[in-house]
Amino acid sequence: MVGLGRDAGTLDGIGERTIVCDLAEPGAWRRAAAEVGEVDVLVNNAGVGWRGPLATAEPGDVERLVTLNLTAPMLLAHALVAGMVARGRGHVVNVASIVAYTGLREEAVYAATKGGLVTFSESLRQELAGTGIEVSIVAPGVVDTEFFERRGRPYPRRWPRPMPPERVAEAVVEAIRSGRPEVFVPGWLTIAARLRGATPGVFRRLVDRFG
């Protein structure tokens, strides 16, 4: 296993080897793909958040979110999936978010990048049908990591409570083992996603009332 991230200290002890790389930098995906070589499983988990009214966001913040959360996963898949197809096996797991399905006020750009990742994954899954390559989305809720500190605002709610990152890792493993195209963690988040899709009017009224 190869671990890739921008923080060498965080990567310590992860995988047989590590690659220190910030995928938000121009062309970083190309270097990462070249260094990692052939892979049977690609897990796109890198991401960054930003919270606040859209009008107050700096253009650079918007560009960074789109680059890291959406463009980099697509380009890494572009670089590595061809080898999987040639070998007749492989799996791409893209880690999105529940807000990809529901949206969230003051997180319009973040939600849009994750929503784009969901659509990309579904389209790629259809494209690769019959090749031996699986594509899965893992959609977590609130995870207890440094994500909220780095985005500049703490998590504001008492419920749902943040879950340990190990639960997301377990969901990724489940997606790979089962071949499921979509895994929500925790599982009850499926209700929110399906409610938004099936009865958008009801969903919006609930969001307007309860936030």
Q: Which residues does residue 17 pair with via DSSP β-bridges, in sequence order?
A: 2
**Pair 120, 72: CB distance under 8 Å:** no
pLDDT of residue 210: 72
Please identify which of the residues 50, 110, 120, 184 carries the catalytic annotation.
110
| Tokens of residue 84, six digits | 């999987």
pLDDT of residue 11: 75
Q: What is the pLDDT along the chain (211 residues), one digit of tens a residue?
A: 788 888 777 777 776 788 888 999 989 999 999 999 899 999 999 888 888 999 999 999 999 999 999 999 999 999 999 999 999 999 999 999 999 999 999 999 999 999 999 999 999 999 999 999 999 999 999 887 776 666 667 766 777 788 898 999 999 999 999 999 999 999 999 999 999 899 989 888 888 877 6
The answer to whether 155 is a known catalytic residue is no
Residues of 85-105 as b/e, b for ≥16 C-beta within 10 angstroms? eeeeebbbbbbbbbbbbbbbe
Domains of the chain: 1-37 (no CATH), 40-210 (3.40.50.720)
